[in-house]
Amino acid sequence: MCVEPAPPPPSRLTRRGVLAGAAALAGTSALLTASAPGAAATGRRFAGGRGGDLVVEGGTLLDPDTGEVTEDALVIITGGRVRVAGSRARTAAQVPGGAPVLRADGKWILPGLVDAHIHLNTAAEARDAVRKGATSARSGSTNFYQDVAVRELAHQAPQQAPRLRAAGIFVTPDLGDTILADPDLAPLARLRNGVRSEEALRRVVDVNLARGADVIKTRVNERAGLPEQDPLTQVYDHDQLSAIVAAAQRGGKGVLCHSYSEKGCHDAVTAGIRSLEHGVFVGERTLHEMRRRGTYFTPTLTAIAGLVDSPDPILAERGRSYLPVLKRAVLAAHERGVPLVAGTDSSGGTVQPIGGEVELMHSAGLSALEAIRAATTGAAKLLGLEGAVGRLERGFAGDVLIVDRDPLADLSVLKKPSHVVRSGLVV
């Protein structure tokens, strides 16, 4: 049985209704009301997403792009954007009168980090992600469009959530209760074999696009985090993945793909996905193809490492056996010029610090600076935010991480920043 090849109705009322429900589920409605124009914020008052004014003074500034280190630095943020960043001796005369000052003497100053794979279902999770250093992020999907609601919260109250690229709902064979997320998904309930036909795949992508998704998330393999599933089992073939990519590209969007097996990884990459997620058993031929195509690799080492401590023996064994394989894949990808980005795959109400993923990428063989780039400039390019986040330069977002020690000598310091600034607002 197939779904009629009709696009979802472009009703603004339907979209508003769906997203209002998502905001209620995510718990963002009250926060959006509180952050309406005229609401108070840390530092100066702001309206409707305009960032704050702040001067970060003292400390050692690290530029992840060049590796340049500037001692006794000054970062001036106005309206949520960097106006000046550099040596205090050269820029002190430009400090605006009356601007709030955050002292960073004896500490290190970096741009806010980017978590390129995270599941943010609630406002509380979004706040936790920011507090732990992720000032920008890309969603790995949510069940009921909560990430779209969180993205709106990030626009209106920047200190409450990372600026977010939302993925909407997962394009997967079995939607489960997610079929209730939108009335335009209801016809899919009639399908005996799930979301597998080209028409059904296109329907889910089109509904996501109609609800404002920035990217499309799909899978090629089953999950590693469920003991009853085999992560090497393939659920979509090359043609199905190509149909998903084509539908997304018609809407001007890229696709991130959950993957494990080498064949699954290769099918996904050659189908045209934008980024490969997890990718534990990605092989040489696929890495070569990724380098040729510019496909990004988000290994989510944090999620795989987390399996090791699972009380379930199947999951714990997967973690122990998969983690060294994935670390070798990360190093092989890096050596071959495949662009690497950092993502925690945090979900289920627990937000892991993106700094921990940076540390794990370093343990896989990247230098400290290269690992930091995976969570700053590299991830910014994947999210289409290059020139906006990932550095502290004029015109960039006023997102700042202040840590107690030199991260190039000890990356663990990134897991517990002493201060986080989001769009010029101290979190």
pLDDT in tens, 249-292: 999 999 999 999 999 999 999 999 999 999 999 999 999 999 99
DSSP state of 52: -
* Cα R_g (the chain), whole angstroms: 21
pLDDT reading at 373 higher than 60: yes
pLDDT given for residue 35 in this prediction: 52
pLDDT given for residue 39 in this prediction: 37
CA 282, chain centre distance (Å):
21
pLDDT reading at 177 higher than 90: yes
Q: How far apart are CA 427 and CA 212, in angstroms?
A: 27
> In 299-388, where do the E strands start and end?
none
Beta bridge partners of 136: 114, 163
Among 38-42, 54-58, 383-387, the range scoring the smallest mean pLDDT is: 38-42
pLDDT given for residue 33 in this prediction: 57
Side chain identity at residue 280, one-letter code: V
For the beta carbon of residue 131, count every other beta carbon within 10 angstroms: 16
Q: What is the mean pLDDT of residues 99-107?
A: 95
Query: All domains of the chain, ordered by start, with CATH?
Result: 35-112+390-427 (2.30.40.10), 113-387 (3.20.20.140)
Q: What percent of the chain has pLDDT over 90?
A: 85
DSSP state of 176: G
Contact 62, 405 (CB under 8 A): no
pLDDT reading at 63 higher than 80: yes
Q: How confident is the model at residue 17 (pLDDT cuts 50, 70, 90)?
A: low
pLDDT given for residue 376 in this prediction: 98
The pLDDT mean for the chain works out to 91
CA 72, chain centre distance (Å):
31
The model's pTM: 0.91
